[in-house]
Structure 1
């Protein structure tokens, strides 16, 4: 009887040891996954809480459409499709700000949006299967934390990388989590890349819902730039009047080819503001040294239309520059 009791105790202790060992391995795996997630991702809702995201204007319809898809029972993974520079990433930033403000359906309150750095994950992966293992560890960390939405810019790279290297398509790593509903993603890509890399992958494509992001009209682009104005004024310590914003949109829309609003107009404002800030800095330095040049006398901390025009002229460094239209 005593011998049987000892055997029972030994079996119980053995099972308990196996349970503790399995739990320890599971916790270590979760910690590795969380570490991988932290290393290769940026929490956009946390950045929004710190005031690190720009104010978004003029993309209310696209943000609303994205919310509708996220709230679906199936096929609840939005794919933002649009030309480079039209503001696909800005839509995700706007959504993160709405989640932070609680201006979302109850099911999404308390969620966070995490942006995945796919290039960082791909870096220094030399051997077959190494990239897949790194992605699996990353996804383990993401899916271990509830109410996390994963944003993947350049989403087509998931399908592109595998075919380019001749390895297992890395998009396959995502499919089990998407099928089980353990993972929600927001992707962003262009029409060309979608047609070339995503649409042919029917198993991946059917789990996504497209959100079309068109280039804004000049009028809407002006609204967008006015919303961004305080951030650029604070950064460069200059003033940007309405007519300079309107000139940036008008000139970029008319003269700059191969790029899209609002990105190309924002670049004009940014560079013109930097130019004015440098001129003012030199003026202040010259004044403090008691040496005031003629140009320094007229330096102002205001971005004027001529400053925008100067930047456009500088971009066209050659008469046949493909950047500018005739």
Structure 2
């Protein structure tokens, strides 16, 4: 998958107040739109729009979900909203080019950082399953007063987007799944169990070189890495090297453990809304491939077959390849 191809493809198809408990007897949370520090929860990457915080209580913890709320820059599609969900090695800001194009097309655009990622809280004792992340996104939209949206997700975000469509079908105008994870059952194919502690040890030593090597091999298989992709690697490397690097590494271990057990392939026939599935021919991402026996690893991440097989399961679908 080439990142710019993803951004352009999605855009082509679609062509500072505080919410308080006084507005609801049982508030989900509040929106803070005041000043936030440049280094927020371990991430000092510059975001092009003001960062707001969705503060809420979940799993017996006070949490903050960072997000950007980009208004529509013209009146067409008035009242339409697009929500862009990032992948596991990315942040909401990765969607910036797409957000600009959607804003220009008349969409209000919401770009959240999932709990555990980027500028959001990184709780250590937390269930990072995709149902919970989808619920968190829905809670954010509810507090923002958004009852319908186009949901767009890439990689892990695509897995969460699919789950969102299954959980909240009446709230989704259309669904875009861009190289989503979960199109195969990794454990059923033989990926062995790896403890969270072992996964943490492999994550806590990550740096720019190791991250770039992984992304080049997984996202750009048989493709050319371009210098402009380095900024997203550096964004991630700086979190690992920052004051919450150890916490972030442990979150990645918890996330990996959760995702492995929750493939969405079995539920795709239940999606009701118009769905766009985009699969990149250069993406060979597969959870667990790194610690699987060679005989198992060789069977994983074959999107040339996974994509069409998933497409055949979704009732109301448009399928396309990304080069």
Taking structure 2 as the reference length, what is the TM-score of the superposition? 0.30
More helix as a share of residues: 1
Q: TM-score, normalised by structure 1?
A: 0.30
Structure with the larger strand share = 2
